């Protein structure tokens, strides 16, 4: 299996790609430590993995708090003994309002989660990855860093900063055989996007089918990529098959990036 014997931490476990990524990582042979702020939800995903014959630990925590980051890492070490991979999927966004109407304190809070939360997680896993002789870190980003949308600055700007941190850390941590890459997501079909499209269709007086068709026409593969399939690319970045890939930004958006 792709991740057989790997020990992986995934932050930001939610009903979208986070859950799918956790399930697929376990299916690929990884033992996973799952982190999120919602206790009941992250524990339910861990139970799904356990019930399917995998191995998972659920930790409730807020990555904007250093002590929570350390607690997540400590749980992985206590349960599995080492750490091979980290996926920074937790993010903050704040209100989606135009810049001139925004409160920059909301942007700072988003930065605390998306950027500094990810950096704190990396700081916490670093001693363990060095001791293990290497590891793989994947920072989850968004195509909005290439294609800005009005009123989305509180989400996209912290993600842009995280992409810069990826390149910086790839240079600094390569000597420890620790790889750091960015996964750039576009539209992903799953519960969150389905809910968004249904709500917007009602608001705009159209149908979900019409909205989906409008989005898909800008994607070379002709459909909104399923979040489960997008997550599998992250698994590839965690695996030994990408042992020579670091500092990269991998486009996982059905080719929409090339049609901008």
Residues serving a catalytic function are 155
Count of other CB atoms within 10 angstroms of residue 70? 16
Nearest C-alpha neighbor of 188 from the set 209, 154, 164, 219: 219
What is the number of other CB atoms lying within 10 angstroms of the CB of residue 40?
Answer: 9
Helical (H) or strand (E) element with 35? strand 31-36
């070490």: which residue's tokens?
77
Nearest to 106 by CA among 116, 94, 91, 122: 94
- Nearest Cα to Cα of residue 200 among 212, 218, 217, 187: 212
């Amino acid at each position: 299996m792709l991740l057989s014997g790997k020990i992986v931490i995934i932050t930001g476990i939610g009903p979208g790609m986070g859950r799918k990524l956790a399930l697929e990582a376990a299916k690929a042979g990884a033992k996973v430590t799952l982190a999120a702020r919602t206790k009941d939800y992250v524990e339910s995903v861990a139970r799904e993995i356990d019930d399917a014959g995998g191995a998972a630990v659920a930790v409730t925590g807020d990555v904007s708090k250093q002590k929570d980051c350390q607690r997540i890492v400590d749980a992985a070490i206590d349960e599995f003994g080492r750490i091979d991979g980290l996926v920074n999927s937790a993010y903050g966004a704040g209100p989606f309002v135009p810049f001139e109407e925004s409160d920059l304190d909301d942007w700072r809070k988003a930065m605390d989660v998306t950027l500094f939360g990810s950096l704190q997680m990396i700081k916490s896993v670093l001693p363990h990855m060095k001791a293990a002789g290497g590891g793989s870190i994947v920072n989850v980003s968004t195509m909005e860093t290439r294609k800005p949308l009005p009123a989305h600055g509180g989400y996209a700007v912290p993600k842009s900063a995280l992409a810069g941190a990826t390149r910086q850390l790839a240079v600094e941590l390569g000597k420890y055989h620790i790889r750091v890459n960015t996964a750039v997501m576009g539209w992903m079909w799953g519960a969150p996007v389905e809910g968004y499209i249904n709500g917007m269709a009602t608001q705009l007086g159209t149908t979900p089918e019409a909205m989906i068709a409008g989005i898909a026409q800008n994607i070379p593969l002709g459909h909104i990529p399923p979040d489960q399939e997008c997550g599998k690319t992250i698994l590839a970045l965690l695996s030994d098959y990408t042992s020579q890939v670091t500092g990269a930004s991998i486009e996982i958006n059905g080719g929409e990036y090339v049609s901008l």
